[in-house]
Amino acid sequence: MQSKTIEDLQLENDALRQRIKVLESQLAESNDTPLQDPFETVAALTNPDIRRFGRQLILPRWGKASQLKLRNSSVLIVGAGGLGAPAALYLGAGGIGRLGIVDHDEVDIGNLHRQVIHTEAKQGMPKALSAMKAIHAINSSCHVVPYLFSMDSSNAMDVIKDYDLVVDATDNVATRYLLNDACVLLGKPLVSGSALRYDGQLTVYNYQQGPCYRCLHPVPPPPETVGRCSDNGVLGVVPGVIGILQALEAMKVISGLHPGEPSFLIFSALSNPMFRTMKLRSKKKECAICGDNPTITKLIDYVEFCGAGADDKNITQSVLGPNERVSATEYNHVLETNRAHVLLDVRPALQLDICNLPHSLNIPIDELDKRIGELQDIMKQQSIEGKDVYVVCRLGNDSQLAVRMLEKHGIQGARDLTGGYYQWATDVDTSFPIY
Ligand SMILES: Nc1ncnc2c1ncn2[C@@H]1O[C@H](COP(=O)(O)OP(=O)(O)OP(=O)(O)O)[C@@H](O)[C@H]1O
Ligand SMILES: [Zn+2]
């Protein structure tokens, strides 16, 4: 990793100060400030508590004792997105005394189909603050602590040490290992969830003699094999289901109702049955962090370990050099001058329904090797050379890989549209949909 210069740090520092000012004014405007620490535990429920949680109090095996345990406990939710939104709502509504919410991101319209804790009016607001306001609207006595930064090796131990349990509601492998290791080192149970497309998973790690995440996954998967919601899509209800189950598992662990047997739950919305559970073995003796002779005794650099960072947005690959790429405006000039060319759209066919340029040829990148003949035929029929082939996708990542694939098939000189249709919609045709 390249180290930062003093000037870089100064600039970062100025930007952070600026940002803090904006956030402080948002908070002041919102008239809804976090309750100040320290968070006080209580010896008994109040009458308003008894009124509010009456339906839980009369539950066999729950009663006043479990509710009081919730009231005196603290849970840290990392990520206020698709999983964290429902988890935070139910944990806040259900009576957890102190709820920490960590998220560096801000609310975007594309979050709202699944991140139900946020609203249209909260666009642009830090998610942790928006979540705090939503929880306070349901339960004003919940002690919410928003953390408006990304959790990493420099801050994880310090934040997590003050909580009884951690809910991993993030979307990336680096944070998964980070939270796992911090929870093992601090002896905290970790309720971990994930959701992608129509499927989700749920496990409680590091609880009683159960395994940790590293016991099951000693090495991270290659970054290019990790699916992201922003690339693969996710049906909004799916993280909703898993996030609510994360809240449930957290409440069971805190109240002492969790059976403790380690298990792995798989949810597949399109299968029958939709839920399957597999038993897990106890922790592994040879695990690098929770085993008998741990080799990891403090947090490491998880971005380096996983080959990818916590921010899964705007991942822009630089596979091609500047001469192998054209801007959206340059491509528009090709259209305006009527130059004979092929525009190869390498997105999955389904996405053509959302938007497309009608003159484009669609061959999804996964099929490009076996369908290359279709492109070659058109080039031959219309006497088009490699340098007049332009490749486009949604954001300009796959299109670069596709240019390299074309070279392997002897089509030299093709170029991709930098920033894909996103840039096209921003720079050339603002009526073109962005998704
Ligand atoms: N290390 C981290 N620290 C704090 N928050 C994190 C960290 N890693 C991920 N998150 C947050 O976890 C949330 C995960 O939410 P979700 O999976 O629904 O995706 P998203 O990032 O909001 O949206 P999209 O994937 O569509 O861009 C995000 O709000 C993200 O900012
Ligand atoms: Zn382990």
Please report, for the domain that includes residue 145, its CATH number. Answer: 3.40.50.720
Ligand 1 atom closest to the Cα of residue 80 is: 29
Residue 259: C-alpha distances to residues 66, 214, 253 (Å): 15, 22, 8
Q: What is the pLDDT of residue 240?
A: 98
Q: What is the pLDDT of residue 149?
A: 97
Task: For residue 178, report the distance from its CA to the centre of ligand 2, in Å.
Answer: 13
- Binding-site annotation: residue ranges for Zn(2+): 212, 215, 287, 290
**What ligand has the least distance to the C-alpha of 196?**
1
Tell me, yes or no, if 355 is annotated catalytic: no
Is 337 a member of any domain?
Answer: yes
Where does the pLDDT of residue 434 fall: very low under 50, low under 70, confident under 90, or very high at 90 and above?
very high
Ligand 1 atom closest to the Cα of residue 170 is: 12
| pLDDT, tens only, 204-220 | 999 999 999 999 999 99
Task: For residue 294, report the distance from its CA to the centre of ligand 2, in Å.
Answer: 9
Among residues 209, 207, 201, 155, the alpha carbon closest in space to that of 182 is found at 155
CATH of the domain at 381: 3.40.250.10
242 pLDDT exceeds 80?
Answer: yes
Is 3 a member of any domain?
Answer: no
Task: Give the residue numbers spanning the domain of 137.
Answer: 73-306
Task: For residue 283, report the distance from its CA to the centre of ligand 2, in Å.
Answer: 6
**What ligand has the least distance to the C-alpha of 286?**
2
Are 99 and 242 within one domain? yes
- Binding-site annotation: residue ranges: 82, 103, 110-114, 127, 171-172, 212, 215, 287, 290
Where does the pLDDT of residue 10 fall: very low under 50, low under 70, confident under 90, or very high at 90 and above?
confident
CA dihedral 244, 213, 306, 188 (to 10 degrees): 80
Domain boundary among 279, 306, 333: 306
Are 279 and 183 within one domain? yes
Ligand 1 atom closest to the Cα of residue 79 is: 12
Are 141 and 230 within one domain? yes
Sheet with 275-279, edge to edge strand ranges: 143-147, 98-102, 74-78, 165-168, 190-196, 199-205, 263-268, 275-279
Where does the pLDDT of residue 14 fall: very low under 50, low under 70, confident under 90, or very high at 90 and above?
confident
Are 259 and 113 within one domain? yes
Is 8 a member of any domain?
Answer: no
Is the sign of the CA dihedral 290, 291, 294, 296 positive or negative?
A: negative
What's the number of domains the chain is made of? 2
% of the chain at pLDDT higher than 70: 93
Are 276 and 175 within one domain? yes
Tell me, yes or no, if 306 is annotated catalytic: no
313 pLDDT exceeds 60?
Answer: no
Domain boundary among 259, 277, 306: 306
Domain boundary among 256, 275, 306: 306
Report the number of secondary-structure helices (H) and strands (E) in the chain.
Answer: 16, 13
Is 315 a member of any domain?
Answer: no
| E strand intervals along 160-249 | 165-168, 190-196, 199-205
Q: What is the pLDDT of residue 312?
A: 52
Are 174 and 285 within one domain? yes
Are 196 and 333 within one domain? no
Tell me the pTM: 0.88
**What ligand has the least distance to the C-alpha of 292?**
2
Q: Which of 95-104, 219-228, 304-313 has the highest average model confidence (pLDDT)?
A: 95-104
Are 240 and 331 within one domain? no
Q: How many CB atoms lie within 10 A of CB 4?
A: 11
Is 433 a member of any domain?
Answer: no
Give residues (CB < 6 A) around ligand 1: 78-82, 102-105, 110-111, 115, 127, 150-151, 170-172, 175, 229-230, 310, 312-313
Is 144 within 8 Å of 35 (Cβ atoms)? yes
Is 395 within 8 Å of 368 (Cβ atoms)? no
Q: How many CB atoms lie within 10 A of CB 320?
A: 19
Q: Report the C-alpha gap between 340 and 362 in whole angstroms.
A: 17
Ordered alpha helix ranges (H), 126-202: 127-138, 156-160, 173-186
Are 301 and 352 within one domain? no
Is 327 a member of any domain?
Answer: yes
Q: What is the pLDDT of residue 267?
A: 98
Q: How many CB atoms lie within 10 A of CB 154?
A: 10
For 297, the token pair is 């005794």
For 268, the token pair is 């597949």
| pLDDT, tens only, 338-355 | 999 999 999 999 999 999
Q: What is the pLDDT of residue 227?
A: 79
Is 88 a member of any domain?
Answer: yes
Q: What is the mean pLDDT of residues 151-166?
A: 98
| pLDDT, tens only, 279-309 | 999 999 999 999 999 999 999 999 999 988 7
Residue closest via CA to ligand 1's atom 24 equals: 230
Q: What is the mean pLDDT of residues 142-163?
A: 97
Residue closest via CA to ligand 1's atom 30 equals: 79
Is 417 within 8 Å of 333 (Cβ atoms)? no
Are 253 and 388 within one domain? no
Q: Please provide the average confidence, as pLDDT, over all residues in the chain.
A: 93
Q: Report the C-alpha gap between 21 and 188 in whole angstroms.
A: 34
Ligand 1 atom closest to the Cα of residue 81 is: 15
Is 214 a member of any domain?
Answer: yes
Residue 113: C-alpha distances to residues 195, 355, 422 (Å): 14, 20, 20
- Binding-site annotation: residue ranges for ATP: 82, 103, 110-114, 127, 171-172
Q: What is the pLDDT of residue 166?
A: 98
Is the sign of the CA dihedral 196, 201, 207, 213 positive or negative?
A: negative
Q: What is the pLDDT of residue 29?
A: 58
Task: For residue 210, report the distance from its CA to the centre of ligand 2, in Å.
Answer: 9
Q: What is the pLDDT of residue 427?
A: 97
Where does the pLDDT of residue 231 fall: very low under 50, low under 70, confident under 90, or very high at 90 and above?
confident
Residue closest via CA to ligand 1's atom 29 equals: 81
Are 365 and 273 within one domain? no
Task: For residue 295, report the distance from its CA to the centre of ligand 2, in Å.
Answer: 11
Are 168 and 111 within one domain? yes
